[in-house]
Homo-oligomer: A and B are copies of this chain.
Amino acid sequence: MARAGGVTIPGVRNRQIVLASRPAGMPRETDFRLAETELPPPGPGEVLVRTLYLSVDPYMRGRMRDTPSYAEPVAIGGVMVGGTVGQVEASNAGEFKKGDIVEAYTGWQEFGVAPPGALRRIDPSIAPISTALGVLGMPGMTAYFGLLEIGRPQAGETVMVSGAAGAVGSLVGQIAKIQGCRAVGAAGSDAKVDWMTRELGFDAGFNYKTTPDYGAKLRELCPQGIDVYFDNTGGPLTDAVMRLINVRARVVVCGQISQYNQEEAGTGPRWFWQLIVKQARVEGFLVYQFKERSAEGLRQMAAWLREGRLQYREDVVEGLENAPRAFIGMLEGRNTGKQLVKVAEPA
């Protein structure tokens, strides 16, 4: 029991999804385990948050691996990390009060404790609160800053997107259209391609799983070549795109989901000579680079949403216990738009 400002906050029984084993290749449900623990009460200045939605994202596959990367791995037996939208259950911090809706990074569990600096207040009047994990959250900022700041598209240019029906890719194509570009996307089903081209406004798209010759298809759909490539997948599709980049092209490397389940970095064509010939740039980024500008990005994305210039789709699985299945499905490309897990209803 903790005491702050005269308020006593109890601990809670907390269900969590923990990492049971490090997967080799595609994760299986048995690599995760449901655990139940007592969550101690929040300390001075801390906030207890009840998870409403949790996000499953491709980057989490990297956290399941214990090789060096840009962030620490999840320990065996540790709670899976990740972004959440939650409701303040109890607060020892003056900035937040019980009932507030917040974005947090409390992971795959029913409750989490965080300092107020790790929370972002969500205004439910702007958009459904789940969008704080999608179009108005990390994936939205990834699309916004990645395309505009790394890709720097100019009106009239062709922007090609892989993983184009995912949480990030579906926004990249729409932002490209807002910038006056031709937007072309690759996705893993005909239904996804229909959604992109009929509802999101992509100029063209193709199903990479049923297209035998990526080069021929890309030449057909990108007759002026490719000026900006926003890469979420890597692999043979990326190889085909790299052969068709224009002079002074920019390749934005956001994700390499086709490679995440490989135990070793794969081999492929060497691109450095092509980069000289095309005077082209390939740049990897993490959305974290732009965190000081997130207010700007969120404001612009919210404005485009309000104006009807951005659409989004959420793929929601119910129940904390189904988070592993949702995560694996996302890695397999079964989702369209942002994959979420709904853990509880708001009070």
Whether A211 sits at the interface, judged by CB under 8 Å, is no
Knowing A280-B283, A283-B282 touch, does A253 contact B275 (C-beta < 8 A)?
yes
Residue A269 is within 8 A (CB to CB) of chain B in the complex:
yes
Query: Does any Cβ of B come within 8 Å of A231's Cβ?
Result: yes
Q: Is the CB of B267 within 8 A of A270?
A: yes
The contact size tier of chain A is: 20 to 34
Q: Are A284 and B289 in contact (CB under 8 A)?
A: no
> How many copies of this chain sit in the oligomeric assembly?
2
Complex interface: chain B residues within 8 A of A278 (CB): 70, 284
Given A267-B267, A267-B268, A268-B267, does the pair A273, B256 have CB atoms closer than 8 Å?
A: yes
Q: Mark A260-273, 1 if CB is under 8 A from B, else 0.
A: 00000111111011
A273 surroundings in chain B (CB, below 8 A)? 234, 256, 259, 265, 284
Given contacts A281-B281, A281-B282, A282-B282, contact A254 B269 (CB under 8 A): no
Nearest CB of chain B from residue A318's CB, rounded to whole Å: 32
Does A238 have its Cβ within 8 Å of any Cβ on chain B?
yes
12 CB-based A-B contacts, threshold 8 Å: A70-B247, A231-B272, A234-B273, A238-B272, A255-B276, A265-B274, A275-B282, A275-B283, A277-B284, A279-B285, A280-B283, A282-B283
